[in-house]
Chain A
Amino acid sequence: MTPITKRYEVSGDDFTHAGEASGKVKTLLKQIGYHPDAIRRIAIAMYEGEINMVIHANGGFANVDIYPDRVEILLEDTGPGIEDVDKAMEEGYSTAPDEVRALGFGAGMGLPNIKKYTDDMRIESAVGVGTKVYMTIKGQ
């Protein structure tokens, strides 16, 4: 079955619009009557990935495929990359600068939250090249 496919550009310029792509996906899923229990998990997981691209990678792209039984999301950026992915996945690990910590980010809980709320996640990252975060959330 062909999915509903969406692609969003996530600007790295400011925090004012951060979360817009996740918000749009959430609105769309509600409109099409997607599994209610999945919508919140999808919205939070995607937001964490989206905000990471803004904070750590100067923006990127969000690709979303909505299938009847699952949603697949790929967040891709050409930022600095992650040197040690296992370490980045640890609760509390963060390289967020002070100015974004003042906004409430930098707890080092974003990637662990993605793991918690998705059924599957995978990170491909190369230093100096960029980062891809794949996630799948089952629709039920």
Chain B
Amino acid sequence: MTVKDMAQSLSLAKLAGEENNDVVTGCYIGDLLSWVMGRAGEGNAWITVMGNINAVAVAKLAELSCIILCEDAHLDEDARIQADSNGIAIYASGETAYALAVKIAALLAG
């Protein structure tokens, strides 16, 4: 499943970056940046409330496939600009991290 397919299936709103065809390899949930860098797998969709510029750097360096801001968490303006220029896809959803992860798991299994 690509990031694009996932975003469509989950009706995610795109806030920044490019709608890309990177493969979603799994999903990681967390707001502590060093946990994410230590534990998230390459290509994972990252569900978080951390919409700041450091999160964009983490997504880029750890090669995550996209950031999903759950429960409509705020995206900082400088983070949006940075994500746009680095091609990091950021989406928003009103759903909880749990609800999103359950749906992503179903999509990955299907």
- A contacts, CB < 8 Å to B: 15-16, 18-19, 22-23, 26, 40, 43-44, 47-48, 51, 103-110, 112-113, 116
Interface string of B74-110 (1 = CB under 8 A from A): 0000100000001000000000000000000000000
Q: Inside 8 A of B50's CB, which chain A residues have their CB?
A: 103-104
B10 within 8 A of A: no
A18 x B54 contact (CB < 8 A): yes
Given the complex of chains A and B, what is the CA–CA distance between A47 and B62 in angstroms?
10
Inter-chain CA distance A116–B37, complex, in Å, is 11
Q: A47-B57, A105-B32 are in contact. List 20 more A-B contacts (CB 8 A).
A: A15-B54, A16-B78, A23-B57, A23-B60, A23-B86, A40-B61, A44-B62, A47-B61, A48-B34, A103-B52, A103-B54, A104-B31, A104-B54, A104-B55, A106-B32, A107-B35, A109-B37, A110-B34, A112-B38, A113-B38
**Interface-central residue, B50, B52, B57, B62, by most chain A CB under 10 Å:** B57
Within 8 Å CB of B54, what residues of A? 15, 18-19, 51, 103-105
- Tell me, rounded to whole Å, the shortest Cβ–Cβ distance linking A69 to chain B: 22
Chain B nearest CB, measured from A55 CB (Å): 10
Could you tell me which B residues sit within 8 Å of A by CB distance? 31-35, 37-38, 42, 50, 52-55, 57-58, 60-63, 78, 86
Interface SS of chain B: helix
Q: Which residues of A contact B60 (CB under 8 A)?
A: 19, 23, 26
CB neighbours (8 Å) of B32 from chain A are: 104-107, 109
Question: In the complex the two chains form, what is the Cα distance from A61 to B68 in whole Å?
Answer: 33
Per CB-CB distance, the 5 closest pairs between chain A and chain B, nearest first, are: A109-B34, A19-B57, A107-B32, A43-B61, A104-B33
Question: B42 touches which one: A40, A51, A108 (CB < 8 A)?
Answer: A40
Are B57 and A107 closer than 8 Å at their CB atoms?
no
Q: Which residue of B lies closest to A101 (CB)?
A: B32
Give the chain B neighbours of A26 by CB distance below 8 A. 60-61
Chain B residue nearest to A43 (CB atoms) is: B61
